[in-house]
């Protein structure tokens, strides 16, 4: 059978229908934009739809299960890079991942309290009652814990001490923002009464430290390019661990993978981004979200660890036909499985980026793919695109003028 990247679109869709059991309708959901009426219901002042490419990363094996990973992203190289890294990882069994329960934190801020320490004790003593109020709001999602912290305002405003009452909520297969916010709002009046203060904020925290996903893989030394490349990758990681200027870019590469899966499957990628970067700075210094070390036999071992608040039920994931189909292709049965696939995509993406950076550099491959956009901009159509792209990439002149010249050469040759 032909490789996925060698197939045409129809063949790729037929493959997905077969392997993921997509119906004709679902397969077309991958090609059709969101209906304007749906968009108009989702946001205000809607005028149109912004579409970006959706592709499938191949070769992923996660906890022994083959996964096709849908990725929505406008940047060339990302999907190919993830697939390539996954192919190397599968030599050693693929990715091993784990994700805990879907525990989110919801915050209720109480201010203008006379005795904050006393208020804290009083609120904690009413834990059972407050959890019951919260749990009366939902049957599917459960508040399982509560804590209260005194926070001192360290801003220039000097607003004094405040109490932050936090609900710990198991949102199961939902991302859970709505349920958490509803529960926080539900307990707020009673919290204000007990604490004898004023409630200001009632909102979930996107710093989902109780919802951390880990994923590991071992990458074959020879496939990476040999001992020296592994050594150079470890140098690259050392810089990302120790230097914030590099760490941010290193993590941008990680998020190329994570966000692309998040977008394809209808997740709130801003929430994931915000949580990820705070987590990268959890020891007080912003560092790499991945860790790399020399494994057995000189292979390269790596691990990613990050909070991933994602859902397979509720939210856009259920409303948007493309997101629904993407989830079906991915074949995940729970929020945890989705988070593990996202973490694997992030780790794979990071490996490919630092491998390229530590060896030939990224521009060669990147420009080769970008050359196809340039060829199309120069007017190349159909099969001309690849021919023109190859010519300008080989010549190292990836610009529209060179593409126009190459195009007329290609047309003259085919007219002969
Ligand atoms: C580009 O989108 C991502 C990279 O800059 C990531 C990295 O530098 O590790 C290549």
The C-alpha atoms of residue 374 and residue 176 are separated, in whole angstroms, by: 43
Burial 3-39 (b: 16+ CB within 10 A, else e): ebeeeeeeebbebbeeebebeeebbebbeeebeeeeb
Whether residue 252 has its Cβ less than 6 Å from ligand 1: yes
Say which residue the tokens 């979930």 belong to.
204
CA of 221 from ligand 1 middle (Å) equals 21
> Taking Cα atoms as reference points, which of 208, 160, 200, 173 lies closest to residue 184?
200
- Beta bridge partners of residue 64, listed in sequence order: none
Residues 201 and 227 in one domain: no
Residues 43 and 90 in one domain: yes
Whether residue 249 has its Cβ less than 6 Å from ligand 1: yes
Residues 215 and 285 in one domain: yes
Domain boundary among 182, 205, 228: 205
Task: Copy the structure tokens of residue 58.
Answer: 């191949």
Residues 137 and 183 in one domain: yes
CA of 244 from ligand 1 middle (Å) equals 14
Query: Which structural domain, as residue segments, surrounds residue 397?
Result: 365-415
Task: Give the DSSP H/E element, type plus range, for residue 228.
Answer: helix 227-242
Residues 285 and 370 in one domain: no
| Ligand 1 atom at minimal distance to the Cα of residue 246 | 8
Whether residue 287 has its Cβ less than 6 Å from ligand 1: no
- The Cβ of residue 105 has, within 10 Å, a number of other Cβ atoms equal to 21
Residues 157 and 26 in one domain: no
Residues 10 and 153 in one domain: no
The C-alpha atoms of residue 204 and residue 177 are separated, in whole angstroms, by: 6
Give the CATH number for residue 57. 3.90.770.10
How does DSSP assign 92-111, residue by residue?
GT-BEEEE---EEEEEEEEE
What is the pTM assigned to this prediction?
A: 0.92
> Taking Cα atoms as reference points, which of 331, 353, 171 lies closest to residue 256?
353
Domain boundary among 153, 175, 205: 205
Helix (H, G, I), strand (E, B) or coil at 308: coil
Residues 317 and 348 in one domain: yes
Residues 123 and 19 in one domain: no
pLDDT tens for the chain, residues 1 to 416: 789 999 999 999 999 999 999 999 888 888 777 889 989 999 999 999 999 999 999 999 999 999 999 999 999 899 999 999 999 999 999 999 999 999 999 999 999 999 999 999 999 999 999 999 999 999 889 999 999 999 999 898 999 999 999 999 999 999 999 999 999 999 999 999 999 999 999 999 999 999 999 999 999 999 999 999 999 999 999 999 999 999 999 999 999 999 999 999 999 999 999 999 999 999 999 999 999 999 999 999 999 999 999 999 988 877 888 999 999 999 999 999 999 999 999 999 999 999 999 998 877 777 888 898 899 999 999 889 999 999 999 898 999 999 999 999 999 998 88
| Ligand 1 atom at minimal distance to the Cα of residue 250 | 9
Ligand 1, atom 1, residue with closest C-alpha = 253
Count of structural domains within the chain = 3
Give the CATH number for residue 179. 3.30.70.420
The C-alpha atoms of residue 256 and residue 338 are separated, in whole angstroms, by: 16
Residues 318 and 245 in one domain: yes
Domain boundary among 146, 181, 205: 205
**CB 57 within 8 Å of CB 82:** yes
**What is the reported pLDDT for 368?**
81
Whether residue 257 has its Cβ less than 6 Å from ligand 1: no
Residues 115 and 222 in one domain: no
Residues 197 and 87 in one domain: no
């Amino acid at each position: 059978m032909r490789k996925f990247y060698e197939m045409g679109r129809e063949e790729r869709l037929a493959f997905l229908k077969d392997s993921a059991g997509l119906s004709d309708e679902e397969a077309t959901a991958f090609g059709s934009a969101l209906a304007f009426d749906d968009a108009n219901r989702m946001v205000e002042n809607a005028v149109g739809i912004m579409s970006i490419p959706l592709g499938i990363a191949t070769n992923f094996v996660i906890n022994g299960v083959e996964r096709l990973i849908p990725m929505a992203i406008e940047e060339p190289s990302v999907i190919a890079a993830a697939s390539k890294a996954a192919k190397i990882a599968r030599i050693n069994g693929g990715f091993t991942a784990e994700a805990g329960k879907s525990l989110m934190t919801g915050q209720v801020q109480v201010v203008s309290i006379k005795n904050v320490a006393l208020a804290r004790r009083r609120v904690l003593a009413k834990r059972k009652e407050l959890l019951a109020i919260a749990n009366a709001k939902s049957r599917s999602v459960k508040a399982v814990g509560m804590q209260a912290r005194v926070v001192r305002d360290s801003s220039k405003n000097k607003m004094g001490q405040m109490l932050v009452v936090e609900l710990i909520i198991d949102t199961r297969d939902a991302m859970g923002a709505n349920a958490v916010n509803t529960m926080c709002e539900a307990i707020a009046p009673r919290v204000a009464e007990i604490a004898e203060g004023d409630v200001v904020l009632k909102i979930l925290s996107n710093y989902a430290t109780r919802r951390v996903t880990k994923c590991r893989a071992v990458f074959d030394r020879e496939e990476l390019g040999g001992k020296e490349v592994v050594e150079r990758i470890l140098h690259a990681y050392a810089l990302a661990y120790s230097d914030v200027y590099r760490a941010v870019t290193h993590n941008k590469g990680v998020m190329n993978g994570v966000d692309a899966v998040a977008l394809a499957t209808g997740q709130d990628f801003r929430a994931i981004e915000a949580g990820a970067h705070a987590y990268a700075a959890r020891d007080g210094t912003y560092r790499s979200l991945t860790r790399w070390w020399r494994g057995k036999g000189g292979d390269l071992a790596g691990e990613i660890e990050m909070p991933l608040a994602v859902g397979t039920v509720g939210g856009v994931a259920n409303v948007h036909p493309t997101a629904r189909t993407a989830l079906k292709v991915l074949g995940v049965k729970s929020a945890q499985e989705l988070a593990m696939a996202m973490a694997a995509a992030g780790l794979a993406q990071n490996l490919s980026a630092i491998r390229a950076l530590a060896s030939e550099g990224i521009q060669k491959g990147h420009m080769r793919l970008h050359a196809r956009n340039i060829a199309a901009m120069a007017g190349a159509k159909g099969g001309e695109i690849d021919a023109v792209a190859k010519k300008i990439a080989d010549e190292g002149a990836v610009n529209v003028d060179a593409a126009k010249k190459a195009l007329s050469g290609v047309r003259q040759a085919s007219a002969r």
